[in-house]
Amino acid sequence: MSDTLSAVLMVGGTFLFAGLVKGVIGLGLPTVAMGLLGLAMRPVEAAALLLVPSLVTNVWQLLAGPCTNALLVRLWPMLLGVVAGTLAGSGLIVGATTGPATTSLGVALVLYGALGLAKPQLRVPPASEVWAGPLVGAVTGFVTGATGVFVIPAVPYLGSLGLERDELVQALGLSFTVSTLALAGGLAIHGALTFTASGTSLLAIVPALVGMALGGRLRARAHPELFRLFFFAGLLLLGGQLIWRGGA
């Protein structure tokens, strides 16, 4: 009983904190959840748990603005690449032993944390989106399939398109929604979606939404840039810990 209670508290606390981060800065729920859960379980198990709360919170983010159709028209080549890449790479997170999978997750978090701290000023010309979108989507999808983290390089790429703030928030929600669905499909194809994991993932919606609501209130009082600094620095430390554990 104590083990069950500990597991419930760990999963609930993880999604509460991950939701709070997303509520403050608009992203980070799946990344934080994968990183923290990856300290206690195999990455493939963590990926299965994050599916439902990630889908619900990102659909919420996607539908919060008026630009859905325009973004679909503009970003569909990238999104198609995400789906193809995720399905191609999902066998890695399912089939890999714990050490390499944990190390890969750690590397993904370190890269994302470093990019977030560096804040590179990238700009992709509209004419280049024809080839850059599918390429970025395919790489993002492969990383998603291999690690359960679907932010690299999609987030820097979307930030380089010159979108308005509300458009960017919606575009991130769209990209993360497609990535979540593609990851679910990849895990299902390889038999990694169990009834228990699906049920736990469903229950994790509650703390995730509570965390988002708390984060939304905190955003009005906290300094978002300072919060982002701590967030990305924390990802560096968390990723380093996972790399160390994977190689131990």
Q: Where are the domains of the chain?
A: 2-247
pLDDT tens-digit readout, 115-126: 888 888 889 998
Q: Which of 16-20, 87-91, 101-105, 152-156 is the least confident region?
A: 101-105
| pTM of this prediction exceeds 0.85 | yes
For the chain, give the number of residues: 248
d(CA 226, CA 232): 10
CA 128 to mean position of chain CA atoms: 25
Contacts of 103 (CB under 8 A, 6+ apart): 242, 243, 246, 247
pLDDT tens-digit readout, 49-96: 999 999 988 888 888 778 889 999 999 999 999 999 999 998 888 875
Mean pLDDT of 3-10: 79
d(CA 171, CA 155): 9
